[in-house]
Amino acid sequence: MFSKSKITPQKFLFVAIYSATLFLLSSKILAQDSCHIRVSLLTATPGEELYETWGHSALRVTDSVRNKDIVYNYGTFDFDTPNFYLKFIRGKLPFYLSPDNFQDFTAEYEQDNRGVTEQVLNLTCAEKQNILMLLEANMMGNNRGYKYEFTFDNCTTRLRDLIEKATDSTVHFGQVLHSKVTFRTLIHEYLNYNDKQWSKLGIDILLGSKLDANATTYQIMFLPDYLMKTLDSTTLSGRPIVSSRHLLFKINHSRTEKNNLTHPFFLFICLFVIIAFLSFSKNTFIQKFLSSFDGFLFFLSGLLGILLLFMWFGTDHIMCSDNYNLLWAWPTNIVAAFYIHSKKSWAKKYFILYSVFNIILIALWALVPQHLNPALIPIIAILIFRSFIYIFSKK
């Protein structure tokens, strides 16, 4: 026999709470399972080529239901673009968002012996869907292309901005650096690591004083490594934005050993010593050689000055503006080079002015509001020395 139990208010409340809890848990599980999507950030280590020096970032989207594993890459461009090289030099070459199969994407880095780290992002289903919608919108028509800018709008900052736009609340980016650091210092960090001293010299010549501005916590994420490190300590609505991190494959080569014998500063010092020694020779052939060398060196410095002006005013490269290398690379040297050994009075006055100005520049080197590469000092010293040889010659 069965007896009918009496439903008390306490039992009713318990059943109601229990049922509601089951409903919420099941709804949450269903919501998580319904998207079947995983979004993760891929960070590649630096490579051997100059454009690979700072690494690379891409976004991986995996859909377990549709059996898709796609990598979205904002760092591609089209070699068939009309006037490709001119647009590249002037900073007007469009970069594109391109999808790639995950296996094909990683195979290239594994072949080049470059490591890849994956950070799985701790996003809600709605946030993942937002990322997919933003990516799909970027893949449509003219939206695919954007004007690349190395420090403020590149393949890494695009991912930072994408993640930030896709979330429903404020992203609290973690603090990676606890002291002030400039954009140039961050760039040098990678060039020094791979001992790319000649590339470092070229960058220091072409990029102006804006590169010496202090980078904020938000701005340092223009570099792939610093986006990865920042996300490790970033929170979203109180939860860590990275749920897991692992190496897809490790890098197999070590840091490039420094070679002081090929360092620009050492070689330019040697050149200065050789030119200074030869300058006191009375040999006719040597003097003719030095005369040609003077014209070549001053012409080259003037040509460089014109290039710096072009990069400043004729391109869209923000960091090429306000370049203090023009203090020694005078564009007028391209004309003065043909008068380095003339008897014209104005020529001697010109080289006196140039020499005195650059002696002051070297004396105040550390006070210039831009990092000027120290390897330039021996070159400027040669220009000054040869100017004095001409000024005080008996002709």
CATH number for domain 35-176+217-249, candidates 1.10.3470, 3.90.1720, 3.40.1350, 3.40.50: 3.90.1720
Distance separating alpha carbons of residues 65 and 45, to the nearest angstrom:
31
Closest listed residue to residue 116, CA positions, set 187, 46, 163: 46
Q: Which residues contact 232 (CB under 8 A, 6 or more apart)?
A: 119, 174, 242, 245
Q: Where are any strands of DSSP class E within the chain?
A: 37-44, 56-63, 68-76, 94-101, 116-121, 145-147, 171-172, 235-236, 239-240, 242-249
End-to-end CA distance of the chain: 133
Buried b (16+ CB within 10 A) or exposed e, 314-341: eeebbbbebbbbbbbbbbebbebbebbe
Q: Which token pair is 139?
A: 């893949």
Closest listed residue to residue 275, CA positions, set 384, 191, 349: 384
CA of residue 342 relative to chain centroid, distance: 46
Predicted pLDDT of residue 77 = 82
Tell me how long the chain is. 395
Q: Which token pair is 235?
A: 């929170």
Rg of the Cα atoms in the chain: 30
Task: Kindly state the DSSP code that residue 149 receives in the 8-state scheme.
Answer: B
Predicted pLDDT of residue 202 = 96
Closest listed residue to residue 199, CA positions, set 319, 44, 53: 53
Predicted pLDDT of residue 395 = 52
- Beta strands 171-172 and 239-240, pairing class: unpaired
Per-residue pLDDT of the chain (395 residues; tens, 9 = 90+): 333 334 454 444 443 444 444 444 444 433 444 478 999 999 999 988 888 899 999 999 999 888 899 999 998 888 778 887 788 788 888 889 999 999 999 999 999 899 999 999 999 999 999 999 999 999 888 888 899 999 999 999 999 999 999 987 889 999 999 899 999 999 999 999 889 999 999 999 999 999 999 999 999 999 999 999 999 999 998 899 999 999 998 876 666 677 888 999 999 999 999 999 999 999 999 999 999 999 999 999 999 999 999 999 999 999 999 999 999 999 999 999 999 989 899 999 999 999 999 999 999 999 999 999 999 999 999 999 999 999 988 55
Asked if 139 contacts 267 with a C-beta cutoff of 8 angstroms, the reply is no
Closest listed residue to residue 101, CA positions, set 142, 125, 73, 121: 73
Q: Enumerate the CATH 3.90.1720 domain ranges in the chain, comma separated.
A: 35-176+217-249
Predicted pLDDT of residue 363 = 97
Predicted pLDDT of residue 394 = 56
Distance separating alpha carbons of residues 242 and 238, to the nearest angstrom:
12
Predicted pLDDT of residue 12 = 40
Distance separating alpha carbons of residues 341 and 355, to the nearest angstrom:
15
